[in-house]
Amino acid sequence: MHEISNQTNKYNMDKDILQKIKLRYGVVGNSPALNRALHIAIQVAPIDLSVFIVGESGVGKEVIPKIIHDNSARKHNKFFAINCGSIPEGTIDSELFGHEKGAFTGAIGEREGYFGAANNGTLFLDEVGELPLATQARLLRVLETGEYIRVGSNEVRKTNVRIVAATNVNMTKAISEGRFREDLYYRLNTIPISMPPLRERGEDIELLFRKFAADISEKYGMPPIRLTDSAKQLLTRYAWPGNIRQLKNLTEQISVINSEREITREILSNYITDDLIGGSELVPLSKASGKYHNSSSLYEQERDQLFHSILKLSNEVSEMKEFIKKHINGQAANNTPIIHHPDLMSFDAGSTKFISNQEGQIITTSSDVSKQEQSEATDFIEVNPIDDTPVSMRELEKANIKNSLERNKGKRRKTAQELGISERTLYRKIKEYDL
């Protein structure tokens, strides 16, 4: 009887601690999988072991390292969160381990690096599955011996850093494909913590929606939106490929755009994709749509997104070519003036040349037109004839990236967001195409 009482008291105590943690870090939800992840984080925090967090993009993995650091003996020392996927491959060793003056072009001074700056603190390595193999070898040495060497130096340095890593990459697949070291994986995976996807959190979805609706209502001074019963059912049946991040964005969209404060099923269906809605139960992501797969790596998802954009651009170019050819041929047969398009100055159609003047009319010149008449068109600009040669995927990809960079005035972060790829992938493409 005494033993049962002690277990009950321990359960209540753990429940109270868990609730305090949720309030402190803004965690919303009561699903068993979420509670288990938080409970493990609290339990392991005082113990100086490496922690490996797995979960899909957007599930809220970043809260776990904060909980671990703030409840450990290192809480008074520095905490750094590093997105390994956003750092270019050529500079990541310098960012993590530091460099000496003159170690490479642009190294005008020394850099301590995160492992030096975070000594006696905690490093959160997000997207650790994106690390290059050479960097993985350096990281393994730090984990095993606490030693590292700056780029361009021969001096061995010591550091005492706790590592918390996270990834949304299928590590088993990455290891089998040789993209991630197996020994490093087991070294990082001392304490595994799995963050559940939103589609598996049941009633937490509605709680999060209400929380985000209340936040935006308070921020912008507008009445909060609320869901009807049928809309709630639709919300919980959605697969949520973007998880919590997607739910937050959707809630903000509806709050700002929709004038009605009561959101019905019909209104909600305008904001979410029908092909990711299943029956009465939550739909596994891999079955909900062929566009998404749990086992896909971040690189594969980004590649698919980029190719989708490229193919869309290719189709638009082909349609434009066909339109121009038909329009010119039709107008040439009727000998009718054509409205000038700012991007189309002159064209060749067989033996007849179509040249735009400053008034926007098309003037036809053929072999029987006098040289004097042709010479009067001194202000006309000629461009190359329309080429039906197929454009390669590389050329389309290069053009798409170049145009996006120009639209965003060379800002890589905005460009990467527009293209739906990571900054690291964008950097690699810029280097590949010499942009």
Domain boundaries, the chain: 11-196, 199-288
- Comparing 78-87, 159-168, 318-327, the range with the smallest average pLDDT is 318-327
Model pLDDT, residue 330 = 61
If pLDDT is split at 50, 70 and 90, which confidence band does 365 have?
Answer: very low
Which superfamily does CATH assign the domain made up of 11-196 to? P-loop containing nucleotide triphosphate hydrolases (3.40.50.300)
- For 115-123, what is the mean pLDDT? 96
CATH 1.10.8.60 fits 199-288, yes or no: yes
When mean pLDDT is compared over 101-110, 155-164, 395-404, the highest value belongs to: 155-164
Model pLDDT, residue 273 = 66
**Same fold? 11-196, 199-288:** no
Residues 249-255: contacts with CB under 8 Å, at least 24 apart: 251/209, 251/212, 251/213, 251/216, 251/225, 252/212, 252/216, 254/225, 255/213, 255/216, 255/217, 255/220, 255/222, 255/224, 255/225
pLDDT tens for each residue of 218-272: 998 999 999 999 999 999 999 999 999 999 999 999 999 988 999 999 999 998 8
Tokens of 258: 């929709």
- Comparing 182-191, 222-231, 418-427, the range with the smallest average pLDDT is 418-427
- For 80-96, what is the mean pLDDT? 92
Residues listed for the chain: 435
pLDDT tens for each residue of 298-334: 444 555 555 556 655 656 666 666 667 666 666 555 5
Model pLDDT, residue 370 = 46
Residues 6+ apart with CB under 8 A from 377: 355, 357, 363, 365
pLDDT tens for each residue of 208-228: 999 999 999 999 899 999 999
d(CA 58, CA 46): 27
